[in-house]
Structure 1
Amino acid sequence: MDAQTPLFPSAYDMKAPAGAEGWESIYPYYVLFRPEKRAEEDGKFWFCNSQHWPTPFRPFDTIMVDFATKGLGQYNTRHLLVPPANGVDYRILNGYVYFSPIGVAPEDIEARIPQFLERAGHYYMNWDALLANWKTKVMAAIEELDAIQFEPLPEVVDVDWVKEGRGLDNTYDLFNRYDDAIRLCYKIWQYHFEFLNLGYAAYLDFFGFLKGEFPQIPDQAIAKMVQGVDSELFRPDDELKKLAKLAVEKGLSPVFESDHVDVILADLATKPGGKEWLAAWEEAKDPWFNFTSGNGFYSTDKYWIDHLDIPMTYLKDYIKRIEAGDEIMRPTDKLLAERDRITAEYREMMDDEAQAVFDQKLGLSRTVFPYVEDHNFYIEHWALGVFWRKMRQLSKLLMDQGLWDSEDGMFFLSRNEVRDVLWDYSAAWAIGTSLQGATHWPEEIRRRRGIVDALASQSPQPALNNPPEVITEPFTIMLWGITSDSIKRWVGEGSTDGALHGMAGSPGVVEGVARVLRSPDQLGELQKGEILVTPVTAPSWAPVFGKIGAAVTDIGGMMSHAAIVCREYGLPAVTGTGNASSRIKTGMRVRVDGNAGTVTILE
């Protein structure tokens, strides 16, 4: 490819949308494309990671991309020494995050192999014990985070503190609690990646082995060999299904016709069988309603346990579907039968030596693969939900002191600016003067809010600069669906049939009416049998997968949540189309071919 004519524009030539001028001032210097580094930055290929961050960041929310990319990098590069892959560099451009995978020089790969085998091998050989320890560590961090409380500074220090000679005031705890919350969030992100890269690595090793044995084997056939997982990420949805069945069994369905959660719950307490149902509801809430309608990476995410109308809406829909005679459970038995059939067919075509290697690699993949989804519930959903709840508590406390005029004001500050605000608050309290920030932050937050809103008005450029001739970094391919072919699709190359081409994420062919969604707040618009078309799905969208006909996403590979969930629900999926959500409009009739990875607009 001619280096003088890049396939995608340079970050340095991209203009901000109207109203977002000066956007760079609201983000840390280290996430920006800096002019003095243009030669270096233009030499890299960057893709927009809209799978994890589909909307522009508020300044505080960059904490998640900071901690996530650092955690991913350290486990590849410093902990495990994954032979072909270091970390993923990242920048923010017009509010969206761009990733650039950092490969290992070919001449350095061989030296990393024995180190990787020693380190990863220890985890693989002791998986169950180490994973049990991981859960203990994560639960301890959640418990410690949940215990943090932010309280306004008192009028005077408690007299008992004075008499006992404590020698400290309340600001000491205020600073420590904020620092502890950030520290625990950082710790939680470190735990996030302790097992994740190992899960991908084992699957990719199995994937590579089968491609070597059978060069023409479809990617889906390999994925099917590990399907039918009993993931804890499905538990919140499964709990709603159990509650819906119980409501129907107890004859309580009419109670759920109200639009208000409080009215429904109060009415249930007066009905025969209602108290039994309410007990089951309360039991399900902890921990399974620690579940976000987004992905946990934004301060704006809504968690079920804080917004009970979200799970109640899904539950009411399940009740209606049960009464209409629909099957609402995942077809797990069918998936397992298909898994075992495909596994046996390919195994029989191998000689004894290859079968032994196959059995070992498949066994390891099935052991470790559930973590690829399970960790999401404990980290992104439960732990980060507690973190955001504590940060909202602090933001409201500081609003009440007059530092800003909206409960979400703090999220337009960086995490380091928040500490400056805490100093301002503490110093003014200690000295007995007014807050400096009360005349600074309200207007500055309004300015920043306007910038973020303006940034959101423009869709991101899918990629920057020239891609490499061949993309070989395995995580980029499997998780994000970024391949040499997918990049060509983004610019319209290679399509002669008029269809949209993507990854064959989950098998099957379905025709139906498209429903284009860009936010979890729109999920209620989905009608039974429609084709969900969206830039990206989140794990918490699972309750709607039982009613849709198929799913189509702009970004995502074979191991993306959309592909995994669709396979577990037996639905066709085409992922990584690049721009399906822009080219398809709600109401269009489309054909989704999850076998070929194509989406055809029929009318």
Structure 2
Amino acid sequence: MTDLHEYTAYTYNPDIDMEETQYWILCAEDTPPSRPRTPMSDWFFQNCANWGAAYAAEKFPIPTSKNVMFRSHNGYTYMSVIMPKTELATHYRSNKFKESLDFIINNYIHIISTEKQQLLQKAEKIKHYQFDKATYTELSKILDERVDATKQMYGTIFFLNQGLGTIYNLFQDLCENMLGITSSTATFQNLLLGASESFSGIEQELQTMAQKAIDLDLVSELCENKPEDVISKMKKSDKGQTWYQSFSAFLHTHGWRSVATNDYISPLWLEKPSIPISHIQKFAGSKLQSVPNNEITDAIQDRKNLQDALLKKVPIGQKEWFETVMQIARAFAAWKHEHKQYCEILQTAITRHALLQIAHKLEDSGGIQQSEDIFFMVPEEVQKLIYSAGTSNQNLTVSQRRTIWEENKKFIPPPLFSKVAPDQAAYLLLKTKNPIAMELALGMTTTIATKNELGLSGQVASQGIAEGVARVVLSQEELSEIKGGEILVASTVGPNWSTVFPLIKGVIVEHGGMLSDAAILGREYKIPVITNVNSATDIIKSGQTIRLNANSGNINILQALENKRLLVVDDEKDIIDTIEELLPMCEITRATTFEKAVELLNSKTFDVTILDIMGVNGYKLLEIANNKGFISIMLTAHALTLEDTVKSFREGAAYFVPKEKLSDLSDILHDILENKQKENIFWTHWYDRYAPLYEKRFGHGWQNKHKEFWEIFKKNEY
């Protein structure tokens, strides 16, 4: 096989592939823009993943979908799903589906354990294989074994994703329909906390190496040198030698991982120790998030208490089934994180190592010019060189393919190839109810199926609120640029990105679901995560101050709030303290009495005043602020009534905020100041934000009491 472009039979061909299905969606989590696979990696994925998807479809047939398929376009992966064409086919699949469901419910623990053990054994063989003594035919066999191992890996991944994922989706439906709990709520997310008791192994080991440098008084040697120079500096002292011995042991165990898991071309930590050292440096110089064992134990106990409380609300006849499904959903959540350590991370590293060892022998015989050339070939071409004992060569093909790959990095892959409109493609995908497809395309379906009217926002994957400096990361290689306390903004987060989670305050990603790496890591490290944020890496820039509210899913760029002068008037000092914590970028002046507030309003200038209604005569202060031309927000707990809401807006307030929604203040101020610049009405999003709260507080039809006002209000014409 020598075709430079069609080195795999799974190269996307619209004339053929559009006959099988009506759409092909970019798997942006696997191959984001600027990260096309090299030919070898692409061949391995396309051949092995398509085999694995077909295997999963046979073992666990979903009635609404027949098979997931993958294609390659310029090194980027696209996915589609074939659906059963007849009712008879659907009926047949339904019967087999029930049998498969029973099988996986009864055997999933054994399946996970067996597959893990087999893959680990195959990896150990390669780790200890004496490649320097291997014959050409033995190398050929090793290459075949890596193909088989990769097929087994994808077969396991897709089978369990399809089987356990279906049960997980069922659990989501049960929680929502039976208990009114959606997957974006803290209650649902807490049910999955502590699922992985072996969580954060590599992060803990990196922190241990950082702490060892601190204990040995080696922080300057570690942190004041370039990562690639640290080892040579450490070897110059006895204490440094002690640290280096520990680091060597660390590499021996944990060095079998690369920066990227979607391509064999990225170096392993074993090959380039400066990669883990750069993480250790950051850990030694930063205040870290951590997941101590006692916190994991507490999370498990909290989860058990929550589980017991929820089970009391489940009808007696469904409790056993609900509990079974819940346990499997939790096991699935744990497996989603853990399997990547011995599947994608380890197997990628092992295959790279095997390919490089084969390449060294081919390089010695002149079959290729340098070892990394093997990544621009495919297995058949490597086997051809092996069978000729390296006497033929692939140098021209390699050179041309490398040039094409470099060009593909600049290519912007379309998010969708489709015969139908984007929203129809999203509908067809959702209709399949296939967990594999839903996960791979999640984010794309959200983007093309819905439009968010409130601006930059997404799906809540781990609750919380964070403010900080944004760090936009477009590739794994840029992870080293992250500093402690920053907010990570990325197209996607892979399993190897876990090393930065102890450092950061929050995460915003364009692609990923509730069981993505970003979501799982965020919940375990108790940092807020918002996924499926369309165009986040284009809109947000590194260095901007941003606020992500992973309770509402909203994100604000806070440049509009920098150094803004605020007067906060409230007779409760702790409220003012809270506002200062929420708005550290603003210059806040405090007043706890009406008299002090009047004095400040008459002597100073403010961009916004935040006024309590009760206790400080808020309406009189609003009148004074209006006369001074200051924008005002009314803040209240005791005066949360329909009458005070209407009165505040009628008397000129820019916003009316219940104190229980204090956390919304930066979002609201951002809206107000942006609307002022655009000369728009201030309270554009008030109704969107607080109508559900008012519905709960004042009952259905609460708008009818001031019907004319609310009709005009909602039209932004008042």
> Fold conserved (TM > 0.5)?
yes
Which one of 493, 516, 519 corresponds to residue 472 of structure 2? 516
Give 2:371's aligned residue.
Answer: 407
Which one of 361, 366, 372 corresponds to residue 330 of structure 2? 366
Distance change >3 Å, CA 266–CA 46, structure 1 → 2:
same
Which one of 503, 518, 524 corresponds to residue 547 of structure 1? 503
Which one of 216, 235, 238 corresponds to residue 266 of structure 1? 235
Which one of 437, 453, 464 corresponds to residue 406 of structure 2? 453
Which one of 121, 124, 135 corresponds to residue 143 of structure 1? 124
CA distance in 2, matches of 1:590, 1:51: 24
Q: SS at the partner of 2:25?
A: strand
Q: SS at the partner of 1:25?
A: coil
Give 1:256's aligned residue.
Answer: 222
Q: SS at the partner of 2:200?
A: helix
Stretch of structure 1 that moved more, 543-552 or 278-287: 278-287
Distance change >3 Å, CA 531–CA 580, structure 1 → 2:
same
State how 1:397-476 maps to structure 2 within 5 Å.
397-425=361-389, 428=391, 435=392, 437=393, 441-465=394-418, 466=420, 467-469=425-427, 471-472=430-431, 473-475=433-435, 476=437
Give 2:605's aligned residue.
Answer: none
Give 1:156's aligned residue.
Answer: none
Contact 2:458 2:531 in 1 (8 A): yes
Distance change >3 Å, CA 278–CA 468, structure 1 → 2:
closer
Give yes or no for the alignment of 1:500 onto 2:481: no
Deviations 1:301-320 (A, max 9, x none): 23223222222221222222
Give yes or no for the alignment of 1:133 onto 2:114: yes
Stretch of structure 1 that moved more, 354-363 or 525-534: 354-363
Give 1:389's aligned residue.
Answer: 353
CA distance in 2, matches of 1:24, 1:506: 46
TM-score, normalised with respect to structure 2: 0.69
Deviations 1:192-246 (A, max 9, x none): 4454433323322211222221456343443331122335462111212233334
Which one of 201, 221, 224 corresponds to residue 235 of structure 1? 201
Shift of 1:49: 0.6
CA distance in 1, matches of 2:441, 2:305: 28
Amino acid of the structure 2 residue aligned with 1:384 = T
Stretch of structure 1 that moved more, 68-77 or 518-527: 68-77
Shift of 1:92: 1.8
Which one of 537, 549, 552 corresponds to residue 493 of structure 2? 537
Contact 1:462 1:578 in 2 (8 A): no
Contact 1:517 1:523 in 2 (8 A): yes
Aligned length: 541
Distance change >3 Å, CA 558–CA 515, structure 1 → 2:
same
Distance change >3 Å, CA 237–CA 244, structure 1 → 2:
same
Q: SS at the partner of 1:90?
A: strand
Distance change >3 Å, CA 35–CA 312, structure 1 → 2:
closer
Q: SS at the partner of 1:245?
A: helix
State how 1:136-285 maps to structure 2 within 5 Å.
136-151=117-132, 170-193=135-158, 195-215=160-180, 217-220=182-185, 221-230=187-196, 232=198, 234-257=200-223, 258-259=225-226, 260-267=229-236, 270-271=238-239, 275=242, 280-285=246-251
Amino acid of the structure 2 residue aligned with 1:486 = T
Stretch of structure 1 that moved more, 238-247 or 214-223: 214-223
Distance change >3 Å, CA 454–CA 130, structure 1 → 2:
closer
Amino acid of the structure 1 residue aligned with 2:452 = S
Which one of 523, 529, 532 corresponds to residue 567 of structure 1? 523
Shift of 1:454: 0.9
Q: SS at the partner of 1:552?
A: strand
Distance change >3 Å, CA 590–CA 327, structure 1 → 2:
closer
Q: SS at the partner of 2:268?
A: coil
Shift of 1:403: 3.1
Give yes or no for the alignment of 1:288 onto 2:254: yes
Give yes or no for the alignment of 1:69 onto 2:46: no
Give yes or no for the alignment of 1:34 onto 2:34: no
Shift of 1:57: 2.0
Q: SS at the partner of 1:56?
A: coil
State how 1:10-89 maps to structure 2 within 5 Å.
25-28=4-7, 30-34=9-13, 36-37=15-16, 40=19, 43-54=21-32, 55-89=35-69
CA distance in 1, matches of 2:42, 2:299: 39
CA distance in 2, matches of 1:378, 1:57: 21
Contact 2:25 2:415 in 1 (8 A): yes
Structure 2: 5+ residue runs without aligned partners?
560-718
CA distance in 1, matches of 2:132, 2:183: 57
Shift of 1:78: 0.9
Structure 1: 5+ residue runs without aligned partners?
1-22, 154-169, 429-434
CA distance in 2, matches of 1:177, 1:351: 55
Q: SS at the partner of 1:496?
A: coil
Distance change >3 Å, CA 138–CA 172, structure 1 → 2:
closer
Contact 2:164 2:328 in 1 (8 A): no
Deviations 1:497-521 (A, max 9, x none): 3x22322221112222221111222
Shift of 1:333: 5.5
Give 2:442's aligned residue.
Answer: 481
CA distance in 2, matches of 1:571, 1:483: 24
Contact 2:548 2:554 in 1 (8 A): yes
Stretch of structure 1 that moved more, 450-459 or 591-600: 591-600
Shift of 1:548: 1.5
Shift of 1:533: 0.9
Distance change >3 Å, CA 598–CA 302, structure 1 → 2:
farther
Contact 1:335 1:570 in 2 (8 A): no
Amino acid of the structure 2 residue aligned with 1:481 = L
Give 2:536's aligned residue.
Answer: 580
Shift of 1:421: 2.4
TM-score, normalised with respect to structure 1: 0.81
Contact 1:83 1:110 in 2 (8 A): yes
CA distance in 2, matches of 1:203, 1:479: 16
Q: SS at the partner of 2:9?
A: helix
Amino acid of the structure 1 residue aligned with 2:232 = V
Deviations 1:138-164 (A, max 9, x none): 2221133335454599xxxxxxxxxxx
CA distance in 1, matches of 2:208, 2:412: 40
Distance change >3 Å, CA 580–CA 264, structure 1 → 2:
same
Distance change >3 Å, CA 38–CA 174, structure 1 → 2:
closer
Root mean square deviation of aligned Cα: 3.1
Give yes or no for the alignment of 1:598 onto 2:554: yes
Shift of 1:529: 2.1
Contact 1:304 1:310 in 2 (8 A): yes
Distance change >3 Å, CA 299–CA 485, structure 1 → 2:
closer
CA distance in 2, matches of 1:35, 1:362: 42
Contact 2:143 2:379 in 1 (8 A): no
Q: SS at the partner of 1:26?
A: coil
State how 1:301-312 maps to structure 2 within 5 Å.
301-312=266-277
Shift of 1:420: 2.1
CA distance in 1, matches of 2:144, 2:308: 54
Stretch of structure 1 that moved more, 73-82 or 473-482: 473-482
- Give the share of equivalent positions with the same residue, in percent: 20
Contact 2:53 2:155 in 1 (8 A): no
Q: SS at the partner of 1:514?
A: strand
Shift of 1:453: 0.8
Shift of 1:555: 1.3
Distance change >3 Å, CA 327–CA 130, structure 1 → 2:
closer
Contact 1:236 1:289 in 2 (8 A): no
Give 2:93's aligned residue.
Answer: 112
CA distance in 2, matches of 1:39, 1:361: 37
Amino acid of the structure 2 residue aligned with 1:131 = I
Contact 2:115 2:156 in 1 (8 A): yes
